[in-house]
Structure 1
């Protein structure tokens, strides 16, 4: 069961965007030690596609990446979240990792509000550094790890 009416303008905007476009993008700007991030709301409701979250990119770039994923899901050919893909960021392979529900409230509160709980899947899009390293790689810099915290469960060998 999802929300159909918002109590204020921002809540209604989420509901209206999902009705009109199939999803909505929420961006949380960096503050203090916390990295900025963006996430989707509505992909699961509209396309049975997991919601997505990405850290450390501008809201504009994150929105563009989400558009690619949403368009693929809408067309009936969603990205395979079990495999790395270069479809999201030119010349870079991105990985997907499932986020445990324990992190939902902290990071995707609007999703929890919309779905009235945490009964939806959420995957983190993890992108590599310019040198091709993912945040979990031993040679990834601490600065890179700080802007892209991995809140998801990462499969070994990725």
Structure 2
């Protein structure tokens, strides 16, 4: 583990989960126009695979997705940006997207703490609608695009 000492119960829980389960999963509630999201801490340290973020899903489903990803990379499966994979959400293929480092401070505070800086990788698991429409498709609704923003470019300036 990175040279981390827990200074409070939350940090102790994070370190214990990373050691026992391979990662800690955090869920961030919806705030204003920002959709909820879940992300992992510890996967890159334990399995040399990028951390994972899932945006716009309910806590139980996003936790299930990240746990499945953690199990699969633990078993040696490799996921690449731009590639699709099944087995994460029902019968739907999902695609892995890159996450621009400028999103790290706003989204991945626990990773920054754990890795002591920005020296870690994150991929976004992107999912289609039940009709098979991706957020980048022209027929994607504005609601769906806002619910699952793509994190591969720097955040828009305020």
TM-score (norm 1): 0.91
Residue correspondences, number: 153
Q: State the match for 2:51 in structure 1.
A: 51
| Shift in CA distance, 3/56, structure 1 to aligned 2, threshold 3 Å | farther
- In the alignment, the residues of structure 1 paired with residue 33 and residue 100 of structure 2 have an alpha-carbon distance, to the nearest angstrom, of 22
8 Å contact from structure 2 (residues 79, 96) kept in 1: no
The equivalent of 2:10 in structure 1 is 10
- CA drift of 1:81 comes to 4.3
What value does the CA root-mean-square deviation take over the aligned residues?
A: 1.4
**Contact 1:3–1:15 (8 Å) recurs in 2:** no
Classify the secondary structure of the residue corresponding to 2:60.
helix
Partner-residue secondary structure (3-state), 1:70: helix
2:156 corresponding residue in structure 1: none
Structure 2 residue aligned with 1:110: 110
**TM-score, with normalisation over the residues of structure 2?**
0.91
Q: Which runs of 5+ in 1 are unaligned?
A: 154-158
Per-residue CA deviations over 1:86-130 (Å, capped at 9, x if unaligned) read: 121122111111111111111111101110011111101110011
Q: Supply the distance in 2 between the matched residues of 1:129 and 1:2 (Cα, whole angstroms).
A: 38
Taking the aligned partners of 2:3 and 2:39, their CA distance within structure 1 comes to 18
1:1-158 correspondence runs (5 A):
2-152=2-152
Q: CA deviation at 1:61?
A: 0.6
Q: CA deviation at 1:20?
A: 1.0
SS at match of 2:10: helix
Q: Given the superposition, is the C-alpha separation of residues 3 and 12 from structure 1 closer, same or farther in structure 2, using an over 3 Å criterion?
A: farther
